Each structure stands twice: as structure tokens, then as C-alpha cells.
Amino acid sequence: MPENVTVPALIAFGDSILDQGNNNYFPTFIRANFPPYGMNFLGARATGRFTNAKTPTDLIAEKIKVKEYVPAYLNPFIQDQDMITGVSFASGATGLDPLTSRINSAIPMMDQLQMFSNYIRKLHVLVGKVETGNILNNSLFLVATGSDDFVDNYFTYPIRKVQYDIPSYCNYLISKASTFVKELHKLGARRVVVFSLPAIGCMPTSRTLSGGKYRSCASIYNKAAKFFNKKLSSELYSLRFRNPPVKVVFADIYTPMLEIIKNPQSYGFEIVDRGCCGTGEVEVSWMCNALSRTCSNISNYFFWDSFHPTEKAYKIIVDHLLQIYVNDVLSL
């Protein structure tokens, strides 16, 4: 943390990387509020976080000294103080493409912005308009989305593949991302971190579907992610508006993730090609459940299920990201 900088709140948007349990509160199959999810969380509680313990939302909030656990906005039991220090609007399996959230019954990105407007009105009541302005001006905003647009939409269903090749689908998604960030800026966000796509081809599910006999990283997925990331990075750079000022930072998670997967031992991992839950090759959400066998020692695993990293993997990546980006985004 830069000296003398305090961050009043952390606010998150996007998909299951940052979802703190919003999907528990409306009908969808994409959930994580049953064991073995949360196996290593406080009290071994399955809260709807899509991993074995804390998500990057919690880990980042803790590192920037906001709080230890970030609540899901839709949780009806949030205390006022918890509301004031930030919430997550993220919803597992949403995407930039509205079709993705429709396929998966997740909260569309634009609806998450609407929820954020309602949140601002609640803050007005709780702390008044001036303090709300202060909170918005100084808080850290996280945005992580796009993986599901490829993994469980473009590469799974024929609809978008017929309409778009990969470069034009990337352009379509990036125009959506750009609109999202502009709207977020209009609503008052100033310090915004947008995550790149991870190395989606190395997710156990992509290896199983498209990695061939040896379940290698699916190169077509990773190529799409790299192309998307390059375009997103330059688009976000163009959004560094001065009036009112905003700092939009593109956070590359693709490179550190691939580095760990290529050199697992250097980071204390043994198994990086399957998750800890079940066979580890296909199980995610409702397929990873109380009947699934879990691995004997989770600290050897990069992936928790066939989509999501373990808390240990998230911690390594988050520490790396904060070192690189925190000064830049908080220097506003």
C-alpha cells in the first residue's frame, strides 16, 4: 500500500472469480453453496464462493486493509457497516455477452450496474451524499468477466460461432467491456481494476473438452484469450479520462497463471491439470457436491474444481497483482 492512502471500500463486478454468493439468491444451477465448496473457509461454510476458502475479492479487500470478508450484495442480512465498506455484485457464470448470462441464468453485467445504482442510493441514506461521494472517489473497483463468454458460450454453443469468428467476437465483447467501464465511471468510480482473461485453455474443463488425448492446455482457447487481452488492454488505456479523473488499470492474470502452471513446483504445487473436487476433470458447481470425493491434500492443487483455482493459487496471483498494480491504481 502506498503511504497515507486509505481505501474506504472494495466493490466487485463480474463472474465467479469475484462472486461472494449472489447466485444463492435467485434460481440458477450455477451455485456453490453446498459442500465441499468452502471446505477450508471459516467454519467450513459453503457461502456461495466458488472455491475452497476465500475468493480474490476477500483476499484483495484484506490486503488493502478494507476488511476480511466482502459480502454478496444480495445477502439480505448485510449490516450497515459492512455495506459501507463494500460489496460484490458479481454473479457466477455471467459474461460480457448478454447471451452468456441468459444461458447460465446469471446476473448480466448491465444489471450489476443497476444494482450498483441502488447501492449508491442506500449509501446516501446511510452516510449522506458528501460521504458517499468520498467513498466512491476513493474505493477500489474490481471487474472480472469474459471467461464464461468463451468457455461456456462461444466454444460450447453454435449460436455465436455462426455469427462471429474469434477476432470479431473479441471486438464485440470489448465494446461491451468498454461501455461497462464508461457507465461505471459515470456512476462515480475512479479507481478501477479490470482483470484480463485467465489462461482459459488450461482450465481442467478446457483440457478435457479440447486438450486431446493428453489433456494439454487447449491452444485455441488460450489463443483467443491472448487476442482478447491485447485488445482489452489498449481499449482500457484509452479510457483514462481526466474529467472527472479515472484510473483504469488492466491487470494481467494470464501471464502469472501460465507461469505457475508451467512451473508448478516453484510455487508449491504438484497437480495443475485437474481440480481437487471429484475426478477434477469435469466437476464444477452442482456437479461438485457432497457426494464428490475430494483430494487428500489441497495445498498440492492449483485448481479447486474444473474451473476455479484454490485459495492458495488465488493468494499467489493476488500478491503478484498487488505488487505490480496497487500503486498505479491508488495513485489517483
Ligand X SMILES: *[C@@H]1O[C@H](CO)[C@@H](O)[C@H](O)[C@H]1NC(C)=O
Interface contacts to ligand X, rule CB under 6 A: 3-4, 130, 133-134, 137, 244-245, 268, 297, 299-300
Considering the complex, what minimum distance in angstroms separates the CB of residue 166 from ligand X? 38
Considering the complex, what minimum distance in angstroms separates the CB of residue 191 from ligand X? 11
Which run of H or E residues covers position 148?
Answer: helix 147-149
Q: What residue is closest to ligand X based on CB?
A: 133
Task: Print burial letters for 191-208: b (CB count within 10 Å at least 16), e (below 16).
Answer: bbbbbbbbbbbbbbbbbb
CA 92 to chain centre: 9
Residue 275 is placed in which grid cell?
A: 481440480
Q: Between 252 and 328, name the residue whose CB sits nearer to ligand X.
A: 328
Q: Between 167 and 244, name the residue whose CB sits nearer to ligand X.
A: 244
152 is catalytic: no
Grouping H, G, I as helix, E, B as strand and the rest as coil, residue 19 is coil
Considering the complex, what minimum distance in angstroms separates the CB of residue 188 from ligand X? 8
Q: Which of 58, 101, 273, 308 is catalytic?
A: 308
Calpha distance 288→332 (Å, rounded): 42
Q: Which of 19, 149, 152, 305 is catalytic?
A: 305
At residue 28, what are phi and psi to the nearest 5 degrees?
Answer: -165, 155
Q: Between 175 and 331, name the residue whose CB sits nearer to ligand X.
A: 331
Residues 6+ apart with CB under 8 A from 247: 190, 191, 192, 240, 328, 329, 331, 332
Q: Which of 15, 16, 91, 139 is catalytic?
A: 16
Considering the complex, what minimum distance in angstroms separates the CB of residue 162 from ligand X? 45
Q: Between 137 and 233, name the residue whose CB sits nearer to ligand X.
A: 137
285 is catalytic: no
Catalytically active residues, by annotation: 16, 305, 308
